[in-house]
Amino acid sequence: MPNYIVKCRDGASEDDIKAVKSQVEDQGGKVTHDYSLIKGFAVEFPDDLVSTFSGHPHVEYVEADGEATTQ
């Protein structure tokens, strides 16, 4: 399954974030990492279901995970 970063809105509570994670798992995804610098987490998620979260009230964005480099 492809990897994605789910960034929750700044105003999302811990309970809101837990609810998003639960929805990810209910739809066949797997949370693989929690971030501490942003309100977000990494997931493995089927491509055909990732758009489900684009309109979620507690999700700011979902993007494909990739390698980050510095200049």
pLDDT category at 66 given cuts 50, 70, 90 is: confident
Q: Let me know if residue 20 belongs to a domain.
A: yes
Position 49 in a domain: no
Residue 38 CA to residue 36 CA, distance in Å, equals: 6
Q: In this predicted model, which residue has the larger pLDDT, 63 or 1?
A: 63
- Domain residue limits at 24: 1-42+57-71
Domain CATH for 63: 3.30.70.80
b/e code 55-68 from CB counts within 10 Å (16+ = b): ebebbeebeeeeee
Q: Is residue 30 part of a domain?
A: yes
Using a 10 angstrom Cβ sphere, with 0-12 exposed, 13-18 middle and 19 or more buried, the burial of residue 20 is buried
* Digit-coded pLDDT (tens) for 8-63: 999 999 999 999 999 999 988 999 999 999 999 999 987 777 777 778 899 999 99
| pLDDT of res. 32 | 96
Give the containing element (helix H, strand E) for 34: strand 30-34
Count of structural domains within the chain: 1
